[in-house]
């Protein structure tokens, strides 16, 4: 079956449909979809300085490339790349090498911050004395640095490569764990309240699947040997991901349905939780938090021995 | 034909006439991979020959 829009050989069948597209038509479709998300949810404003959270993986690499490309003619919008080096040997060091070369080639300023410098030890070392789930402590440190460092770089928005798969997993995780309040922070643009201590997050790849993003990365020649984090296999998210992928294979459209249903109730969630929690400033680092001391500082003092800020 | 599975970094010998059949025989979830034949991206309905080099590239990557 030829491409739906021309006569070329197809390279992809779009998810949840029988539409086949060739390379050029798929690239156009993909970029149009990102542009549409940016337009519909007002993800980019005049004079924005968008800090792009990059890992060297396919999602954030595609995101960085597209944000740079789509804002090429807008002299008022600045794009900067930010990467966090957790200190995972054989994984992050390789992806950051790829990212460094990518940024050089595409002339994007790249800033890398490490757990070792910011918290005293790389993750591989931290996990030797931490008995909890690796993703818990790593996620807290990573989110903390992304927020803090984006502000230090004078960014006013943080773009992340979250896609339809990531978001549908988060929605289901929050349901399963009775954490519905956390879902109020999801969506293509995050933030329940306007607070200068929190940088707003935008997700231009929100409506694209991992499979579409990998196809785009492959066709554009951005493919490195993208690997999975070695600590990811047993995570709760990984189990939800596998469950949803099995459902999707059996009932195509499942993930799209989760997202579209969620977006219908998101305004209600945002309204419900907008005043619920007082945002304090951490007594140690001054970053926003719900308690006296933020979770990152708690972990840093409890888990990272001999830590000094 | 020989099929390369990127996620586990291994080659497997498979008798199949198209990509769908490869998925069935190797018990691979189609939503988790993209497929290339001789380094070109192909759809699941694409017919394949014995001398084609087929690769299954994982779409899952840790953030």
CA distances from A103 to A77, A80, A91, A217 (A): 17, 10, 19, 15
Whether B21 is in a domain gets the answer: yes
pLDDT of residue A232 exceeding 80: no
ipTM summary value: 0.95
pLDDT of residue A8: 82
pLDDT digits (tens, 9 = 90+) for B28-45: 999 999 999 999 999 988
Q: What is the CATH number of the domain that holds B36?
A: 3.10.20.30
Q: Which domain holds residue B8?
A: 2-58
Helix (H) or strand (E) holding A125: helix A123-126
Contacts of A27 (CB under 8 A, 6+ apart): A216, A219, A220
In a domain, B15, yes or no: yes
Instruction: Give the model confidence (pLDDT) of A62-90 as tens digits.
Output: 999 999 999 988 889 999 999 999 998 88
Burial group, residue A267, by CB count within 10 angstroms (0-12, 13-18, 19+): exposed
In a domain, B63, yes or no: no
A92-130 per-position pLDDT tens digit:
888 899 999 999 999 999 999 999 999 989 999 888 888
The CATH number corresponding to A40-302 among 3.10.20.30, 3.40.1170.20, 3.40.50.620, 3.40.50.150 equals 3.40.50.620
Going by the DSSP 8-state scheme, the letter that residue B2 receives in this structure is E
For residue range A241-281, list pLDDT tens digits in order.
Answer: 999 999 999 999 999 999 999 999 999 998 888 776 678 89
Please report residues of B whose CB lies closer than 8 A to that of A58: 61
Count of structural domains within chain B: 1
Angle between helices A295-302 and A134-152 (to 10 degrees): 120
Residue B24 within any structural domain of the chain: yes
Please provide residue A33's backbone torsions phi and psi, each rounded to the nearest 5 degrees. -65, -40
Could you give the residue ranges of the DSSP H alpha helices within A153-235?
164-176, 180-183, 210-219
Contact flag A161-B63 (C-beta cutoff 8 Å): yes
Residue in B7, B34, B61 nearest the CB of A218: B34
- Write down the pLDDT at residue A180: 92
B41 within some domain: yes
Token representation of residue A287? 């970053």
Return left, alpha or beta for A266; rule: phi > 0 is left, psi -120 to 50 is alpha, else beta: alpha
Q: How far is A92 from chain B (nearest CA, A)?
A: 10
What share of chain A has pLDDT > 90, as a percent? 62
Residue B18 forms part of a structural domain: yes
Q: Among residues A199, A188, A192, A186, which one has the least CA distance to residue A276? A: A192
Per-domain boundaries in chain A: 40-302
Chain B CA closest to residue A83: B63
Alpha-carbon separation of residue B17 from A36, A42, B13, B40 (angstroms): 38, 47, 13, 17
């Amino acid at each position: 079956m030829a491409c739906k829009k021309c006569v070329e050989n197809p390279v992809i069948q779009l998810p949840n449909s029988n539409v086949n597209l060739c390379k050029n038509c798929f690239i156009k479709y993909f970029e149009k979809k990102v542009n549409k998300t940016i337009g519909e949810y007002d993800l980019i404003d005049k004079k924005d300085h968008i800090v792009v959270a990059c890992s060297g993986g396919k999602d954030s690499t595609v995101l960085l490339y597209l944000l740079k490309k789509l804002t090429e003619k807008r002299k008022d919008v600045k794009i900067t790349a930010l990467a966090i080096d957790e200190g995972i040997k054989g994984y992050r060091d390789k992806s950051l090498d790829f990212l460094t070369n990518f940024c050089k080639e595409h002339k994007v300023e790249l800033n890398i911050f490490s757990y070792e410098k910011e918290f005293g030890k790389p993750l591989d070392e931290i996990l030797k004395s931490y008995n909890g789930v690796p993703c818990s402590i790593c996620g807290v440190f990573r989110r903390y640095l992304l927020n803090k460092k984006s502000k230090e770089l004078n960014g006013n928005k943080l773009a992340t490569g979250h896609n339809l798969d990531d978001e549908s997993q988060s929605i289901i995780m929050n349901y399963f764990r009775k954490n519905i309040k956390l879902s109020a922070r999801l969506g293509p643009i995050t933030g329940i309240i306007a607070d200068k201590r929190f940088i707003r997050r935008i997700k231009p790849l929100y409506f694209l699947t991992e499979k579409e993003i990998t196809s785009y990365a492959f066709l554009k020649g951005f493919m490195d040997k993208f690997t999975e984090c070695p600590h990811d296999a047993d995570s709760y998210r990984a189990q939800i991901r596998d469950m949803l992928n099995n459902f999707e294979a059996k009932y195509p459209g499942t993930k799209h349905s989760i997202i579209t249903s969620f977006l219908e109730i998101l305004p209600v969630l945002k309204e419900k939780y907008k005043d619920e929690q007082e945002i304090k400033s951490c007594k140690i680092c001054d970053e926003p938090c719900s308690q006296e001391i933020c979770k990152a500082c708690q972990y840093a003092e409890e888990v990272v021995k001999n830590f000094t800020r | 034909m020989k099929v390369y599975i990127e996620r586990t970094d291994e080659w497997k010998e498979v008798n199949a006439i198209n990509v769908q059949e490869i998925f069935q025989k190797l018990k691979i979830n189609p939503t988790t991979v993209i497929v290339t034949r001789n380094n070109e991206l192909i759809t699941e309905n694409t017919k394949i020959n014995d001398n084609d080099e087929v690769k299954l590239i994982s779409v899952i990557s840790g953030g």
